[in-house]
Structure 1
């Protein structure tokens, strides 16, 4: 039986990144680089994560050799890949105003999956904000007239965020992450982004035509506020047609895996992840682990201050 597995991340240098992932969740970053995101679990050609020894190999190789054990009832995406991708993101400067397509458009035009995603805010400087959706009353014609100009910002809804806020970003939602924010992201396994506006940065391609094709001119409900979790409790943060997100504070005893893969990101503190079989995994801040669907149970051994984000695919066979 395939045991629980710890992953090796891919760090991505970006125009808007910085070094704050060293502070929270506490990741060792490549020296002298502005790291905007780390791909913690990814089965994608644009950034393939690996499995730590003793198992070793890439997640792609794991899926090719043990796909049924990894996924159980969960569906792979349309390209036979692990359906989700997990990241940590630090915005030292604002990300481009951007939008992601849905599955049909991405498949036809990019040969990739669509991208619905969700963010859990880990750190936010005072007054830090994200853009998500449009202001009330914005018309389709107004959007199309201003989409390729700096005036597009005036049409978009800006939301102040604080730690533990959850922001759901379905495909077609125009969005951006402002400076001073660190977050964890769960998304469909895709690397398709259409940039509308990039705050005057040069040398970065814009994709206005594609963005106009896929953007939905709709308001956004804003952040889902979360109170600080009580020790040794679990709370479902979000459940959508692509994935579910659960926050675990501290540890808990054995729970059923449910014949779907479960991915755990260590947000704070440390702990030990147990499966029904295989060696326990020691988790340090920033570590990511995969519990394959073939494991019957899992348990987390941790102090009351530890915090773990679990992501699980919800599209089933």
Structure 2
């Protein structure tokens, strides 16, 4: 197989809290005014991404990996995670506040759902004036204080609110209570999992007049009640990779591109690039590909000597 950079058809998800920024800012093919998520790279059952370019066009990501797991995923990734693509990449548009929620760790998710847990990170691509994110507790708490606040519809009072702007980064370990606030456009990188426990939804009703399901009891054991330092600072040196988050599940770096930069490519891991701003050219071998804002691209581990040229801001994700 002559491996090449892979682009996938986005999987658009309508959400009660969604809007139109996925179309207006990122040029995604949304068909409603409540489009909340664009799944860029996914192997979640029922939502497996399909290649949109080149010789493998029309092939889903699981089938691509099956052709040659080590060539696609990388030797180290296969040794650690087997033949499954281990990450899920999304863009999220929050026109309204998302529900307050928490994700279980690997052990709990395996026991209850036969799934991975859901460690994730957020990169704020755009934020309206006054936009906020909820991440963790203001102060160390406990299950009893939490249950009391929940019963009194006051759980928000226990939680830490962060005013945000473009470029802010948050790393959410499993167990961190969180919510994306209205007016934010987010790039999200997470483990391959769709396990979410909804804690509180501001007493909203759906278009049928029903309250959305809460997972109160499931969440109790999953929550980390200790205060966390989830916001990350990072360097922004031009034309190189600046590490933002480095954890066992993924390493994400920021590339402020003003000229030419080399992409981190090894036989150990695939690399994913997400374009946060601007346009650039991807150079590989004697070929090239144009990338625009909102593009997500998978570089198989077998690719080497990949470069970027142009004026753009990108996230570079690998497993180290």
| TM-score, normalising length: structure 2 | 0.90
Moved more, 164-173 or 47-56: 47-56
Q: State which of 250, 257, 265 in structure 1 corresponds to 2:274.
A: 265
Is 1:50 aligned with 2:50? yes
Separation of aligned partners in 2, 1:75 and 1:100: 23
Q: Deviation digits for residues 69-95 of structure 1, max 9, x if unmatched? A: 111133357674201111111111111
Separation of aligned partners in 1, 2:138 and 2:95: 25
CA change 1:79–1:175 in 2 (3 A) is farther
Listed as ranges, the gaps of 5+ residues in structure 1 are none
Aligned to 1:240: 247
Aligned to 1:183: 186
User: In the comparison of the two structures, how many residue pairs are matched?
Assistant: 309
Aligned to 1:171: 174
Secondary structure class of the residue paired with 1:132: strand
**1:283-294 alignment, distance < 5 Å:** 283-294=291-302
Contact 1:97-1:195 at 8 Å conserved across structures = yes
Contact 1:148-1:196 at 8 Å conserved across structures = no
Contact 1:148-1:197 at 8 Å conserved across structures = no
Q: Shift of the alpha carbon at 1:137? A: 4.0
Secondary structure class of the residue paired with 1:280: strand
Is 1:38 aligned with 2:38? yes
Q: State which of 204, 214, 219 in structure 2 corresponds to 1:206.
A: 214
Aligned to 2:115: 112
Separation of aligned partners in 1, 2:73 and 2:88: 14
Aligned to 1:11: 12
Q: Shift of the alpha carbon at 1:183? A: 1.1
Separation of aligned partners in 1, 2:32 and 2:130: 28
Secondary structure class of the residue paired with 2:219: helix
Is 1:124 aligned with 2:132? no
Secondary structure class of the residue paired with 1:105: helix
RCO (CA 8 Å, sep 6+): is it higher in 1 or 2?
1
Q: Deviation digits for residues 219-276 of structure 1, max 9, x if unmatched? A: 122422457x455343211111211111112253445512210001111121221234
Contact 2:4-2:303 at 8 Å conserved across structures = yes
Q: Shift of the alpha carbon at 1:148? A: 5.0
Contact 2:8-2:53 at 8 Å conserved across structures = no
**1:21-170 alignment, distance < 5 Å:** 21-24=22-25, 26-54=26-54, 55-56=56-57, 57-76=59-78, 80-170=83-173
Coordinate RMSD, CA, aligned: 2.0
Separation of aligned partners in 1, 2:264 and 2:97: 40
Separation of aligned partners in 1, 2:10 and 2:31: 15
Q: Shift of the alpha carbon at 1:33? A: 3.4
Q: Deviation digits for residues 152-203 of structure 1, max 9, x if unmatched? A: 1111111111111100101110000110111111111110000010111234
Separation of aligned partners in 1, 2:176 and 2:264: 34
Aligned to 1:298: 306
Q: Shift of the alpha carbon at 1:31? A: 2.6
Secondary structure class of the residue paired with 2:241: strand
CA change 1:174–1:7 in 2 (3 A) is same
Q: Shift of the alpha carbon at 1:65? A: 1.6
Q: Deviation digits for residues 108-152 of structure 1, max 9, x if unmatched? A: 211221100000111111221111111214233211333355211
Contact 1:128-1:180 at 8 Å conserved across structures = yes
Listed as ranges, the gaps of 5+ residues in structure 2 are none
Aligned to 2:284: 275
